[in-house]
Amino acid sequence: MKPTTRHPHNARARLLRGALVLATLPAGHALAALGGDTSTLESERAALGGQMTREAAAHCTVHVLKTTYGETVREYADAQGRIFAVSWRGPTDPGLNWLLGTHYPDFARALAHLERPGLRRSLRVVTPTLVVESHAELRAHDGAAYLPALLPAGVDAAALP
């Protein structure tokens, strides 16, 4: 019997394949990660698979990527097309390094300074430029991240799903 990490339908294997595809995208096809813009959403959808839809919301547009394996990533764009927030929900960890984009090093530095006694399922990291909230249980990961300086007027960060 093969280990589950090599099973073609294993969630971690799918994420690794997606990450490898994303890593090979040309420089002009960076992800529409936090702080990026919406011009690369189609490249992201093609690399990760699934369906991309767009929802109008008060003061922003929400681009929703749903994969065939149950992962949902929402990217919130302002009127200029800048991604000011992202949220995720699904059976696996979405890979914060690509969701946070250039803000991931700030997150990693802040995370290293948190006191983390024992196993924690919920996490909240707040810096002057970035807020990340994440919750994980067995086959249930969700969270949101946003850039306070880019929040459009009228958008309540607490209301991000």
The pTM score is 0.74
How much is the pLDDT for 104? 93
* Residue given tokens 């294993």 in the structure block: 10
How much is the pLDDT for 41? 76
Residue 115 is assigned to a structural domain of this protein? yes
Residue 46 is assigned to a structural domain of this protein? yes
Report the C-alpha gap between 48 and 118 in whole angstroms: 33
How much is the pLDDT for 3? 40
State whether residue 10 is helix, strand or coil.
coil
Residue 123 is assigned to a structural domain of this protein? yes
Structure tokens at 63: 């681009």
Residue 62 is assigned to a structural domain of this protein? yes
Total count of domains within the chain: 1
Report the C-alpha gap between 63 and 71 in whole angstroms: 14
- Cβ–Cβ < 8 Å for 39, 32: yes
Report the C-alpha gap between 62 and 73 in whole angstroms: 10
How much is the pLDDT for 78? 92
**Which portions of the chain are predicted below pLDDT 50?**
1-30
Residue 22 is assigned to a structural domain of this protein? yes
Beta strands in the chain (DSSP E): 51-57, 60-66, 72-77, 83-90, 122-126, 131-137, 140-146
State whether residue 74 is helix, strand or coil.
strand
Residue 161 is assigned to a structural domain of this protein? no
Find the domain containing 113 and state its range.
4-154
Length of the chain: 161
Q: Residue 147: what residue type?
A: L
